[in-house]
Amino acid sequence: MNSHSEITDVQPAPQDLPGGDLCLANARLVLSDRVVTGALTIERGEITGIVEGDRLPAGAVDCAGDLVFPGLVELHTDNLERHIEPRPEVDWPHLPALIAHDAELASTGITTVFDAMRVGSIHSGKGRYIDYARKLADELLAARAQGVFKISHFLHLRAEICSETLLDELAGFGPEDRVGILSLMDHTPGQRQFRDLTALKTYVARKRGMDDADFAEHVENLLGLQRRFGARHEAGAVQEASRLNAVLASHDDTTAGHVATSAANGVGFAEFPTTVEAAEACRTHGIAVMMGAPNLIRGGSHSGNVAAEELARADLLDIVSSDYVPSALLLSAFRLAEIWDDLPRAIASVTANPARAARLTDRGTLAKGLRGDVLRVRTLGRIPLLRGVWSRGNKVG
């Protein structure tokens, strides 16, 4: 079972950007339980005041009735991997990729991100892929320490159970890396996300350029890896999450049995359960359910799994992740506001709830003493338009 100690972000701000001072007034402030007209003050990067009313203090930014709410908290995004490998087998320089990724997220309203990196590699057979996470993590942590980033970055290790080198790669990380999340990823063909081998074939063929024979060899290799390493890798990854003091997450739970195993392992939240059965079991076990914003916006899963909207309407959705489209996170909150007819609840699914799941206690709601990570948003019909993004009171978008 994992420790439940709380963590806060201690990354330094750039030397020329100390915690900023700001007053956003005449705004509709989205609090945890209601929306009020008022002013929000940030001093030295921290929220110091929330006052109701439409008064404009001297020097305040007149928001003219725009919404103001916390910066978005992203727990699982493939966006960094897209930047370091913009096309298959194209290795992009990592520091420029990190900077571009950071700037892109800031431009979409994400002020806290857990950068997902795969651990566990396959060095033989079709579909091989090599380890990269330790080197990339070193570069990310160095850039963070130097104040390069606009927003707050943490590590999310995606532990590939169906691989050859998972435990060796995990051993290269330590508590000093402050890994926030470790997720258990089992992409063995024929189960979980890829119960439908046709969907897997479409995905792999597009990404890796495999023909029928290549794909058949790839599937057989993965099945063999699962038989050889699956149980040992899963048990070892659970132990490593505890050693690293990381929140443990499951991925693509499909059955009540999967969820029962997740609960026994000490999982804190479930990433993208694929069925209503699994989501209901998560409720029973007190495991928060996270779904992808693209699924919600598109009206369904591209892999043929359960629709996020179906879970939302059944009160089985707690957290939304941008997954592979950063701009979808803000959009998804407003789609949920329509479904639930409850804007504060919808905003919490992309702010307070993911912060809580990741054991971050210094952000996610508008409250005195918390980080000055805030967004100013105007709506154009049903579409949210970002008017400003502040990280610790500094304007970053």
Q: Model confidence over 328-352: pLDDT tens digits?
A: 999 999 999 999 999 999 999 999 9
Contact 104, 149 (CB under 8 A): no
For residue range 199-232, list pLDDT tens digits in order.
Answer: 665 666 666 667 777 767 667 677 667 777 768 8
Alpha carbons 246 and 260: distance in angstroms, whole number: 20
The CATH fold of domain 71-363: TIM Barrel (3.20.20)
Q: What percent of the chain has pLDDT over 70?
A: 85
Mean pLDDT of the chain: 89
Domain positions in the chain are 71-363
Q: Both tokens of residue 68?
A: 């103001």
Q: How many CB atoms lie within 10 A of CB 161?
A: 22
For the ranges 54-63, 82-91, 182-191, 258-267, which has the lowest average pLDDT? 182-191
Alpha carbons 282 and 273: distance in angstroms, whole number: 9
Class of residue 266 by CB neighbours under 10 A (exposed 0-12, middle 13-18, buried 19+): middle
* Mean pLDDT, rounded, for 83-111: 93
CA 15 → CA 110, 148, 219, 389, distances in Å? Answer: 22, 10, 51, 20
Banded pLDDT at 116 (limits 50, 70, 90):
very high
For the ranges 52-56, 222-226, 231-235, 307-311, which has the lowest average pLDDT? 222-226
Banded pLDDT at 11 (limits 50, 70, 90):
very low
